Structures are given as C-alpha cells and as structure tokens.
Amino acid sequence: MEVTYEKGRLGTIKRTLKKREEVFLSGFGTFSITKRKARTGRNPKTGEAIRRAAKVLPKFKAAKAFKEAVK
C-alpha cells in the first residue's frame, strides 16, 4: 500500500537529515543519520574481494507508543 505524505513535511525531514541533525516526531519515532565505515566485502559468485566505500545512511527508531499501536 502506498501512502502519500505532504511534500512540505517530508522535505523538511530530508533537509534536516542532510544537515546531520535528528528529527523527532512525538509518538512516532526518531530519524537520524548513521555512518558506515569503508570495508572489504566478497563477491558471492566469484569469491573475489571487493572494496566497499564508506556511506552515510538514514536510520529510524520507532517510539514506544508507535510500537504498541501496531502490535
């Protein structure tokens, strides 16, 4: 199911995360940024070592009220 969200609010969340700041939505959860270090991985098909670049990724932690609401 696709949910349409007001562009203004979603844009605000994106801009805030881009500045590396947290976004807290009361009763829903917290959006934040996490950094992943560069690492060496393996190609499962060939077994060849592959260098994986460092990344900055979004992270979401659900609030207790939200978790309980979806039980």
Residue 1: pLDDT band (50, 70, 90) is very low
Largest CA distance in the chain: 47
Contact yes or no for 30/23 (Cβ under 8 A): yes
| Burial state string for 2-34 with b = 16 or more CB within 10 A and e = fewer than 16 | eeeeeeeeeeeeeeebeeeeebeeeeebebbbe
pLDDT at 8: 74
* Domains by residue range for the chain, with CATH: 7-69 (4.10.520.10)
Higher-pLDDT residue of 55, 4:
55
Instruction: Express each pLDDT in 8-63 by its tens digit.
Output: 788 888 899 999 999 999 999 999 999 999 999 999 999 999 999 999 999 999 99
Q: pTM of the predicted model, to two decimals?
A: 0.72
